[in-house]
């Protein structure tokens, strides 16, 4: 992603986040050791891009998980599914230490949420999230309590909370 595109995405994330940017969180977390450790449903709380963390506005929500415009479920059989701000994602995954390999498909959806939001802004916001979850391989870090999952690919870090 070139600098102009990255700047545009940051501006879009600021809009969705309500202009709440802060330095990235500490990445001291346990390595995901098996598929069982990430099994469950995770709601996206923040995106860290280009060194800045953007908390997502909980008013922009998608069913069936109110308060989360983006969520992903990893099941025990190696399937994953989820909802991005505008589209759905599904596929398969395998965990190898902290590396997660996946084969996913993004299915077009609509950008209609309880909290409103401009569809073009939501689609631009979705881009870095989609790029991480759609990548063939990403790193996953689970905190010691098992309640926070950080997924990273290239320069984007997604922070999820177990829901």
Task: Give pTM, 2 decimals.
Answer: 0.73
Question: Looking at residue 122, which CATH number applies to its domain?
Answer: 2.40.128.270
Query: Which residue segment(s) compose the domain that 48 sits in?
Result: 3-162
Cis peptide before 64 (omega within 30 of 0): yes
The domain tally of the chain equals 1
Residue with the two structure tokens 């589209």: 87
**Do the Cβ atoms of 51 and 24 come closer than 8 Å?**
yes
Question: pLDDT tens digits for the chain (163 residues)?
Answer: 544 444 444 434 434 444 344 434 444 444 444 445 899 999 999 899 888 888 776 666 666 777 777 899 999 999 999 988 778 889 999 988 888 888 888 787 766 555 555 666 666 778 888 888 888 889 999 998 999 999 999 889 999 999 9
């Amino acid at each position: 992603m070139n600098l102009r595109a990255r700047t545009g995405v940051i501006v879009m994330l600021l809009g969705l986040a309500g202009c709440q940017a802060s330095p990235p969180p500490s990445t001291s977390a346990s390595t995901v050791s098996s598929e069982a450790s990430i099994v469950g449903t995770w709601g996206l709380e923040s995106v860290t891009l280009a060194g800045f963390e953007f908390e997502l506005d909980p008013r922009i929500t998608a069913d069936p998980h109110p308060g989360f415009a983006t969520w992903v479920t990893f099941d025990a059989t190696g399937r994953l599914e989820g909802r991005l701000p505008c589209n759905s994602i599904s596929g398969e995954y395998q965990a190898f230490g902290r590396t997660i390999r996946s084969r996913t498909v993004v299915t077009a959806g609509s950008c209609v949420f309880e909290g409103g939001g401009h569809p073009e802004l939501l689609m631009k916001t979705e881009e870095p999230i989609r790029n991480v979850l759609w990548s063939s391989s990403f790193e996953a870090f689970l905190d010691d309590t098992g309640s926070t999952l950080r997924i990273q690919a290239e320069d984007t870090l997604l922070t999820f909370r177990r829901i």
